[in-house]
Amino acid sequence: MKNIYINLLTLLVFFSFFCNDALAQCTGCSITGPTSGNFTFTSNETVCFSSNATLGDVAFQNNSKICVAPGVTLTIQNNVNTSSGQNITFEIGGTLIFNQSISIHANLLANIQSGGVLRAGSGGNNFEFNGQTNTLNNQGTIQVGVLGFQNSNATNIIDNHGTLTINSNINVAGNTTFRNWSLINVGSSFNSSSATKYINCGTFNSNNGYNLNGGTVINTGTFNVTSGQIDIGNNGKLENYGTLYSEGTINGTGTSTFYNEGLAKLNNLQPNGAVIKGPTSNTKLGYIYIKNSINPNGAKVGPNLDFTRYTSYNPDVAASSGSQGQSQIFNSAPVFVNAAGSTVASAALANVSFACTSCAAPQVTNIGLCANVDGTLPPQANDDTYSITAGSSAATSVLSNDFAVFNGAAATTSNVTLNQVSSTNSGVSVNASGIVSVAASVPAGTYTLVYSICSTASTSSCDNATVTITVIGGCTNPPATGTPDNYTQIGISDLAGFGNGWPKNVPNGFIAIESKDKGFVITRVVNTATIASPIEGMLIYDNSAGCVKLYNGTTWKCLEKNCNVN
């Protein structure tokens, strides 16, 4: 039931964004809003503001809605009265200003459209959500002092695609999810509940630290904290798949986890027995830059991490080679663990390195994905490249290198659904099983198609990938019609006997070569540029192009099917 509830919330956010995009102007208006005085927004009515207005005291009844048109400013000067259990909606295409610090006790759905502004005073007043279910979708600009979610029994979703500026603190209670696709700036600190998730896929800047209080941070973008303490708390999780920057101190506990698959640039890390964990796959590596040595205090470290001492960031300056190594990173030996979570005797057995200069795994600073509202990561669709003859299909599915969940199980038709998004040629397509097909009518050339995979467990959780297809023409030369001009007179074979008049039944050839278990090996080169003086008729295998090429006297061309050959 919990998963179903989360999916309904996800659909609500998606629907809200759809409405937000659709409402360039106010629609469905019951009445036109006044320009001055006190006002009550009555039940089941949409009040639209098409000209500037300044109101005094206002009250919102159940299922009331206000819509501020683009280019219009609505200022509410005084008190805002709402009631618990009721529902109200703000649709903001223009500017909505509350000149007093306000607390909304009703369930609030607020959509700030692109170009829209929601502001509390000049940006320094407080805005507090106290309803049971609250959704804030921002594609414009929000400016407040303290942003509060004070109902400990509430479910709150904040989806930010614009600029959200909180000049003071974020104070959070209840089951609250911040998801940032663009930019959030926090002037001071933020305090959380254990059911709080901060999902950052864009840029999140905080001038001070925060108390995660057992909640979760999932960063796939850039997360900057310029000072103060970051307290993960009991059972808290700090997950970094992008770039994490902390100039203060990160404090863990014996039940907290710091997971790093990206780049973490830290001043101080005091795990206090926490798990410092990297990716389980040894094809990946989490990189940690650290200024000050770490006191592990029983912390478990590994697998697949690299630690490097730095003296400064911005610009990044690594310490000298003599200041690198396990004893320079850790005050005492931590408990090293491998991918299975088992204790191992050394850093090497956990694939934990120190200032490696030739790490096989690349440094990743953004995985290009954004976590779902429930904190799960979406599927991972990876790009593909194929060479396919016109009129045929690929031998393997595009799903063969995709994952149902990032870092999870392989994608299959049972755990994801596949849909074609676009193609540069209508004859180049991919089916629901992931097989790319090329129609016989498609001319030789290079084409691209985009497909999406969506989780069957959460259909709004999707990722896209691009497939590049090189189409090989159906024939190198058009097929001859009628009786062949001649037949092949010479044949080389390792078979015991020839049948069916071979090789003289092969039309239009000079030499035919036949074998059932032996290959014909010709000269291999890196690419044709390495051949200084090619001669017409020369054959080579081009490793870069992955094909046999013939020099026709002017250019090198990959050999393709000749329709005159049986």
Q: Three-state SS for 110?
A: strand
Write the DSSP string, 37-52: EEEEE-TT-EEEE-S-
Residues forming a β-bridge with 102: 127
Q: Which amino acid is at 179?
A: R
Tokens of 323: 């200041």
Whole-angstrom CA distances from 377 to 361, 390, 489 are 21, 37, 64
Among 95, 43, 91, CA closest to 66: 91
Residue 562 DSSP label: -
Q: Angle at CA 400, nearest 5°, toward 394 and 405? A: 145
SS (H, E, C) 231-288: ECCCCCEEEECCEEEEEEEEECCCCCEEEECCEEEEEEEECCCCEEECCCCCCCCEEE
Q: Angle at CA 135, nearest 5°, toward 130 and 136? A: 100
Categorize the per-residue pLDDT at 561 as very low, low, confident or very high, splitting at 50, 70 and 90: low
Q: Does the pLDDT at position 119 exceed 60?
A: yes
Spatial CB neighbours of 115, under 8 Å, sequence gap ≥ 6 = 70, 93, 140
Phi-psi region of 553 (alpha: psi -120 to 50; beta: other; left: phi over 0): left
Could you report the per-residue pLDDT of 259-297, keeping only the tens digit for each? 999 999 999 999 999 999 999 999 999 999 999 999 999
Q: What pLDDT does residue 83 have? A: 96
Count CA atoms within 13 Å of residue 87 on its CB side.
7
Are 474 and 445 in contact by the 8 Å Cβ rule? The answer is no
**What average pLDDT does the segment 313-324 reach?**
95
Could you report the per-residue pLDDT of 59-104, keeping only the tens digit for each? 999 999 999 999 999 999 999 999 999 999 999 999 999 999 999 9
Categorize the per-residue pLDDT at 322 as very low, low, confident or very high, splitting at 50, 70 and 90: very high
Among 291, 319, 289, 287, CA closest to 306: 287
Highest mean pLDDT among 19-28, 113-122, 549-558: 113-122
Spatial CB neighbours of 547, under 8 Å, sequence gap ≥ 6 = 387, 541, 558, 559
Can you tell me the distance from the alpha carbon of 53 to that of 37, in angstroms, rounded to the nearest whole number?
Answer: 9
Q: Which amino acid is at 442?
A: V
Residues forming a β-bridge with 110: 90, 136
Among 189, 219, 183, CA closest to 204: 183
Q: Does the pLDDT at position 148 exceed 90?
A: yes
Q: Which amino acid is at 466?
A: T
Could you report the per-residue pLDDT of 5-14, keeping only the tens digit for each? 233 333 333 4
**What average pLDDT does the segment 234-246 reach?**
97
Q: Does the pLDDT at position 532 exceed 60?
A: yes
Could you report the per-residue pLDDT of 169-222, keeping only the tens digit for each? 999 999 999 999 999 999 998 889 999 999 999 999 999 998 999 999 999 999
Could you report the per-residue pLDDT of 365-418, keeping only the tens digit for each? 999 899 999 999 999 999 999 999 898 999 999 999 999 999 889 999 999 999
Q: Three-state SS for 561?
A: coil
Tokens of 470: 């090189």
Could you report the per-residue pLDDT of 494-508, keeping only the tens digit for each? 776 666 778 888 887
Could you report the per-residue pLDDT of 423-470, keeping only the tens digit for each? 999 999 999 999 999 998 999 999 999 999 999 988 989 999 999 999
Can you tell me the distance from the alpha carbon of 248 to that of 252, in angstroms, rounded to the nearest whole number?
Answer: 13
Q: Which amino acid is at 30?
A: S
Spatial CB neighbours of 161, under 8 Å, sequence gap ≥ 6 = 17, 137, 138, 139, 181, 182
Q: What pLDDT does residue 496 have? A: 64
Count CA atoms within 13 Å of residue 513 on its CB side.
5
Around Cβ 315, how many Cβ atoms within 10 Å? 5
Could you report the per-residue pLDDT of 350-378, keeping only the tens digit for each? 999 999 988 989 999 999 899 999 999 99
Residues forming a β-bridge with 136: 110, 158
Residue 501 DSSP label: T
Q: Which amino acid is at 345?
A: A
Q: What pLDDT does residue 497 have? A: 64
Q: Does the pLDDT at position 146 exceed 60?
A: yes
Q: What pLDDT does residue 222 have? A: 98
Categorize the per-residue pLDDT at 475 as very low, low, confident or very high, splitting at 50, 70 and 90: low
Residue 108 DSSP label: E
Main-chain phi, psi angles of 13, to 5 degrees? -65, -45
Q: Angle at CA 260, nearest 5°, toward 255 and 265? A: 110
Are 300 and 337 in contact by the 8 Å Cβ rule? The answer is yes
Q: What pLDDT does residue 483 have? A: 79
Burial of residue 436, with CB atoms counted within 10 A of its CB: 0-12 exposed, 13-18 middle, 19 or more buried: buried
Q: What pLDDT does residue 479 have? A: 58
Can you tell me the distance from the alpha carbon of 467 to that of 562, in angstroms, rounded to the nearest whole number?
Answer: 27
Q: Does the pLDDT at position 566 exceed 50?
A: no
Residue labelled with tokens 């695609």: 161
